[in-house]
Amino acid sequence: MKIGIRSISNAFAKLRLFLKETRAEMRKVVWPQRRYVITATLVVLFIVMLLGAFVMLIDAAFSRFFMYLFKAF
């Protein structure tokens, strides 16, 4: 495969266009306020911990149930 000067300059032109368009799109982004991000993060962490505790309790209950069930045989 032969790479010529035109294909290299074409690749750089495409890269330059991509970066220019990316910069223009990033200027349109509406970033959330710091307080909202902190609140949302705390809510997510709380829910993850709550679900983790729930799964742990269910796991412990099933574990004890099956230990009891298999000791009976």
* Domain membership of residue 54 as a residue range: 32-73
Question: Same structural domain for residues 41 and 69?
Answer: yes
Question: Same structural domain for residues 42 and 73?
Answer: yes
For residues 48 and 1, the model is more confident at: 48
Question: Same structural domain for residues 19 and 36?
Answer: no
Its pTM surpasses 0.95:
no
User: Structurally, how many domains does the chain consist of?
Assistant: 2
Question: Same structural domain for residues 40 and 70?
Answer: yes
Question: Same structural domain for residues 23 and 56?
Answer: no
Task: Look at the block and give the residue holding tokens 């069930």.
Answer: 69
Q: Is 63 helix (H, G, I), strand (E, B) or coil?
A: helix
Question: Same structural domain for residues 39 and 69?
Answer: yes
What the block records as the tokens of 9 is: 């300059």
CA–CA dist 13, 17 (Å, integer)? 6
Task: Kindly report, residue by residue over 7-49, the tens digit of the pLDDT.
Answer: 778 889 999 999 999 999 999 999 999 999 999 999 999 999 9
pLDDT computed for residue 26 by the predictor: 96
